[in-house]
Amino acid sequence: MKQFVCAGLLAFASGMVMAQATPAGLWKTIDDETKAEKSLVRITESGGVYSGKVDKILTDKSDAKCKECTDERKDKPVQGMTILREIKPVSGEAGSFEGGDILDPNNGKIYKVLLKLVDGGKKLDVRGYIGMPLLGRTQTWLRVE
C-alpha cells in the first residue's frame, strides 16, 4: 500500500512540474511551406513577462534585414531581433501564454500571439492572429534546450 501511495504522490508531483513548465528556452522554427528549419528563437522571462529573439537564422539568408517592418525594427538585421514581446501566463491555464505580439520579419506584420506548450513542453504552438485567435495561423516550434 505504501508503494502505491508513493507512486501516486510521484505522479502528482511530476504533473505539477509539467504544469509549471514555461516557454523559456531555445526553439527551432520550421517553415510552413517547405518544412525546412528556419531559425532558432530564444525565449526569456523577466518579471513574469516573456520575450523572444532570433538567435540564429538557419537558412542562407543569415544577413536578412526586416525591410517591411514599420516600427523601430525597420531595416534592422533579423538575427538578434526581438520578435516576441510582452507575453504573460494565462491565469488558470497551465502552459498557455498570451497578451503580447509577434513580428513576422518576412512581411513586417505584427500579430497578437498565443503560446501553448504541448507534448510535455517539447513543442510550442505559436498562434499569430488579428482580432481573435480564430482568425490566425499556428506554427509548431520544437524545443532545442
**Is residue 77 situated within a structural domain?**
yes
**Is residue 107 situated within a structural domain?**
yes
- Residue range(s) defining the domain that contains residue 53: 22-143
> Once rounded to an integer, what is the mean pLDDT over residues 7-18?
42
Mean pLDDT of the chain: 88
- Looking at residue 32, its pLDDT comes to 83
How does 40-69 read in b/e, with b if 16+ C-beta sit within 10 Å?
bbbbebeeeebbbebbebbeeeeebbbeeb
**Is residue 135 situated within a structural domain?**
yes
Q: What is the pLDDT of residues 19-68, one digit of tens each?
A: 448 999 999 999 888 889 999 999 999 999 999 999 999 999 889 999 99
> Once rounded to an integer, what is the mean pLDDT over residues 123-138?
92
Give ∠ CA 12-17-20 in degrees, rounded to 5: 125
Query: Tell me, what CATH number does 112's domain have?
Result: 2.40.128.520
**Is residue 13 situated within a structural domain?**
no
Instruction: Report the predicted TM-score, pTM, of the whole model to 2 decimal places.
Output: 0.83
**Is residue 1 situated within a structural domain?**
no
Number of domains in the chain: 1
Q: What is the pLDDT of residues 55-79, one digit of tens each?
A: 999 999 889 999 999 999 999 999 9
**Is residue 31 situated within a structural domain?**
yes
| Nearest alpha-carbon partner for 125 in 30, 59, 57 | 30
